Structure 1
Amino acid sequence: MKRKDESETMKEDESIASICPKTRNNHSANESEISKKIEENMEFGGILGTAFNIVALPALVLFLNLMCNGQSCKFGQFPIFYNGWSYFFDWDAVFIFFSWVSFQAFLALLPVGKIRYGLPLKDGTRLKYRCNGFISLCLSLAAFMCAIHNDLPIDIVYNKLFQIMVTALVFSYLMSLFLYIKALSMPSSKLAPGGNTGYAIYDFFMGHELNPKMGNLDLKFFCEMRPGLIGWVMINLCMVVKSFKDNVGPSPAHLLVTIFQGLYVFDALWFEDAILTTMDITHDGFGFMLCFGDLVWVPFLYTLQGKYLMNYIHDTPLLILIGISIVNCIGYLIFRLSNSQKNQFRQDPKHPSVAHLESIPTAGKKRLLVSGWWGMCRKPNYLGDIIMSICWSLTCGFGSIIPYFYPIYFIILLVHREKRDSMQCQKKYGLSWQKYCEKVKYRIFPYIY
């Protein structure tokens, strides 16, 4: 489907072409060349690849959660569906999901927390963001504790987790469709660079509008950091509570992975404003890719380790758990220190903590770090992320491959993401980026890749 402003331009060109056949031929050739360039720059396998992902990614989430349940957690062993469609759909689950999203939206709109501005848009304006994610997390935890204190049935979240996931999946499809239709009436300046090809399926997946809003709520920023990310912590805690109710309590490994992942989310929300410079916010539109990823993929796949350890208790030796904890802390330090160094350099290159670092100037005002953490490899924060993801799965032992899906997928994701980012930087910085790549040779894994 072509955009309105583009179709109007085509009509004008056609009127000129009717007078001059040569112009018509040139127009057709130019249009063909433009379409070819658009298709060459498409990501995720282009139209066919994104169409496949729209079906395959949700199917994968359903498949893995069906495989890992109270009956078993191995490939090829589906649970017994005692109640037919009620295994997939439940009105209580619908209520829980929409209550949770509404509660997080309410917290996001509270006039508390710091105000930060995003990077300049095409028209030169900068969007204002209310960064109160950490406060929202703390209030969510307080509400969770109140629910426990008042003996509310917390375990219903685990008992209906699959139905809640199906509700979130259906909602992500409907919301993505709504956002795509809404974006059709938007001016080109409001559209996302990567989701503005004119091909409906591709733009639906990538996100047609860059920063869709509903009132004062920035939908992309909200979904990136709130319902799914905080929901990840809440689902983990619900499983810990259920372990106390059903068994003697969670195993040390189960508690450890809950703490690891909880601290990871705490860190993300404490440094919430750092996301404003990421590709998700600055380049990607808000379509099915991010909507599904935020609302379904994160909370219902990243909790597989906790789900596995709740149902299958492992007597992991204490020394091994200590070793895993030490490696996880090393990964976290790499992740946090490298991110902090980059953010500090972006905010104030003359700050004493980063003033000594070597950098390469670009055509604009930015400089590219080539020393410190960012001289070790181009994405040291990804390296720390990967180390932590492996540690979370190691707490599960080696009884099943399913809890290891997260680090396997995460490595593939970050390698692909680094390539996407590198392509964008090559276009943006040109020769400066080539010099940077010559100086910092390794992408993610020093001396390996």
Structure 2
Amino acid sequence: MSDPQPSNEEGTTTTVITATTHLTLPAHPVPLTYEELNPKSQPLEFFGPIGTFAISLLAPLFTYIFFYTCNDAVGCTPTTLNGWKHAWNLVGNFPSAAGYLWEWKAFAVYLGWYVYCIVCWKVLPGDEIKGNLLRDGTRKSYKMNGLYTLILTLGLSLGILLNPGGIELYTWLYDHWVPLVSSSLAMATFQALWVYGYSYYNGELLALGGNSGNFFYDFFMGRPLNPHPPFFPSFDIKTFNEVRPGMILWLLLNISCACEQYLRLGTITDSMWVVLIFEGWYTVDCLIQEHTILNQMDITTDGFGFMLSMGDLTWVPFTYGLQARFLAFHPVKMGPVYTTIVVAITLVGNYIFRQANNEKGNFRAGKNPKNLEYMTTERGTKLLTSGWWGRSRHPNYFGDWLMALGWCLPTGFSTPLTYYYIVYFVILLLHRQIRDDEACRHKYGKDWDKYCEKVPYKIIPYVVSHLQLVDQLNED
């Protein structure tokens, strides 16, 4: 539509053109049915039901193996057949409470710890953050106050340590290691079973990958996407477990190991300080950036099942701290040169990890302070193609690997077992990278191929990608 308007100049006419667009929307849009929102999935991840069943047994088993093959009674690791027989005989008959398979007092302490974390979530102040848009058109709101929980917990811990006998008291965690493992495993199993059964009755949104109909597969992968207790819709169990009970307990266990070493030696070695500071900072940094977990695959895609409940509550605190527990009974003195090398590797890893995550976090929030380049897909989504995300598709994983190596090196080279963490993290993140690439290829189609041409390196910047290596071998 155009309207002539008088002009200030004689003999001329100014025309203002107004364009109007009419968009017809259905008066009564038809909502998707439960079956349409939650289609059946194929049990393909982790080699299907057989693989997930095996992992459900082996992962908890290895948590116990890490203790019974690495302790002050047998050393770390047994090197003779008699040593392995001795380690096996100690299962269920350990000379101290640290190796008891079950202890009700330890269970009460662990249950109290979990309840304490819930109370902190409820009563401490925190920001309300909206999560990603779900496929049913809703967004969940999350209370982010994990950092305040950590600060309060460390304050209480400091109060204990500064009191007479406080250091001895804090070694209680070290002295009851296995029964605490069993208690956390009991909690993880209960949660996975409960959310699985409850998801059949409450009509909640399911994870696209955990609705196969096979019990062992769905129990492990997680059937519900955002499970919550009855009458408490604001308490998302999966997000709560991700960085609260397990991550903070990991730091507390490390402190307990340092206290044990101090009681034995009268000092804390440089190797223990390096592990304590850098693993502790990783926990602090994680809780400072707590809101960023809302963009992780664990939260956006995976259901809540035994994979996440056991991983968050048992695997993280009781295996990630293996280095500190080893150093408690097998002290290592690194010296200034070796310490400098280890610190440098860890700091570089932390820098890459944090810079990469900051670039991604800022970009997703609509900010681009570095004026990074990006490409726009047909879906309208923008993918970074410069900065750290132009160097590889998962530069944060590379930073994670360097940090993991820096945490293992302080244990020296007397045993390979303390290096399990770097091996595990390489396998874990390689598998996650494959899952993420498959999901992005399904989501973006040809645009993902274009993106991969721009950013060919998968994890380690400028290191040839898997596909490029295969192509080169085929050409040769």
Give the structure-1-normalised TM-score.
0.88
Instruction: Give 1:148 shift.
Output: 2.1
Instruction: Give 1:365 shift.
Output: 3.1
- 1:310 corresponds to which letter in structure 2? A
Moved more, 83-92 or 172-181: 83-92
Question: Which of 248, 253, 256 in structure 2 is aligned with 1:238?
Answer: 256
Q: How many Å separate the matches in 1 of 2:343 and 2:94? A: 40
Contact 2:96 2:175 in 1 (8 A): no
> What are the equivalent positions in structure 2 for 1:119-198 lying under 5 Å apart?
119-150=132-163, 151-152=165-166, 153-187=169-203, 190-198=205-213
Matched, 1:372 2:374: no
Q: How many Å separate the matches in 1 of 2:129 and 2:156? A: 27
Contact 2:42 2:209 in 1 (8 A): no
The superposition leaves residues 108-155 of structure 1 with CA deviations (integer Å, 9 ceiling, x where unpaired) of 112512111100112111000011111111011011112223445211
Instruction: Give 1:438 shift.
Output: 1.1
Q: How many Å separate the matches in 2 of 1:311 and 1:413? A: 29
Contact 1:250 1:310 in 2 (8 A): no
Moved more, 209-218 or 81-90: 81-90
Question: Which of 383, 386, 395 in structure 1 is aligned with 2:410?
Answer: 395
Matched, 1:384 2:402: no
Question: Which of 211, 218, 223 in structure 2 is aligned with 1:203?
Answer: 218
Matched, 1:59 2:61: yes
Instruction: Give 1:241 shift.
Output: 1.6
Give the structure-2-normalised TM-score.
0.83
Q: How many Å separate the matches in 1 of 2:441 and 2:132? A: 19
SS of equivalent to 2:76: coil
Aligned to 2:246: 228
> What are the equivalent positions in structure 2 for 1:407-422 lying under 5 Å apart?
407-422=422-437
Q: How many Å separate the matches in 2 of 1:332 and 1:288? A: 29
Moved more, 372-381 or 213-222: 213-222
Query: Greater share of helix residues, 1 or 2?
Result: 1
Structure 1 pair 138/169, CA: closer, same or farther in 2 (3 Å)? same
Q: How many Å separate the matches in 1 of 2:375 and 2:250? A: 39
Q: Where do 5+ consecutive residues of structure 1 fail to align?
A: 7-33
Aligned to 1:264: 282
SS of equivalent to 1:109: helix
Identity of aligned residues (%): 35
- 2:325 corresponds to which letter in structure 1? K
Contact 2:124 2:148 in 1 (8 A): no
Q: Where do 5+ consecutive residues of structure 2 fail to align?
A: 1-32, 79-83, 466-476
Aligned to 2:235: 217
Alignment coverage as a number of residue pairs = 414
SS of equivalent to 1:116: strand
Q: How many Å separate the matches in 2 of 1:121 and 1:301? A: 33
Aligned to 1:344: 362
> What are the equivalent positions in structure 2 for 1:53-132 lying under 5 Å apart?
53-71=55-73, 72-75=75-78, 76=84, 78=87, 80=90, 81-82=93-94, 87-132=100-145
Instruction: Give 1:271 shift.
Output: 0.5
Q: How many Å separate the matches in 2 of 1:250 and 1:194? A: 47
Aligned to 2:47: 45
Contact 1:240 1:249 in 2 (8 A): no
Structure 1 pair 406/89, CA: closer, same or farther in 2 (3 Å)? same
Q: How many Å separate the matches in 2 of 1:278 and 1:298? A: 17
SS of equivalent to 2:411: coil
Moved more, 119-128 or 356-365: 356-365
Which protein is bigger by CA-based radius of gyration? 2
SS of equivalent to 1:47: helix
Aligned to 2:13: none
Contact 2:117 2:149 in 1 (8 A): yes
Instruction: Give 1:319 shift.
Output: 0.7
- 1:382 corresponds to which letter in structure 2? Y
Instruction: Give 1:316 shift.
Output: 1.6
Instruction: Give 1:179 shift.
Output: 1.0
Instruction: Give 1:279 shift.
Output: 0.6
> What are the equivalent positions in structure 2 for 1:16-55 lying under 5 Å apart?
38-39=42-43, 42-55=44-57
Aligned to 1:423: 438
Contact 1:131 1:272 in 2 (8 A): yes
Matched, 1:302 2:320: yes
Moved more, 406-415 or 71-80: 71-80
Q: How many Å separate the matches in 1 of 2:243 and 2:334? A: 33
Moved more, 323-332 or 73-82: 73-82
Instruction: Give 1:431 shift.
Output: 1.4
Q: How many Å separate the matches in 1 of 2:116 and 2:60? A: 25
Contact 2:261 2:331 in 1 (8 A): no
Instruction: Give 1:82 shift.
Output: 4.3
Instruction: Give 1:83 shift.
Output: 6.2
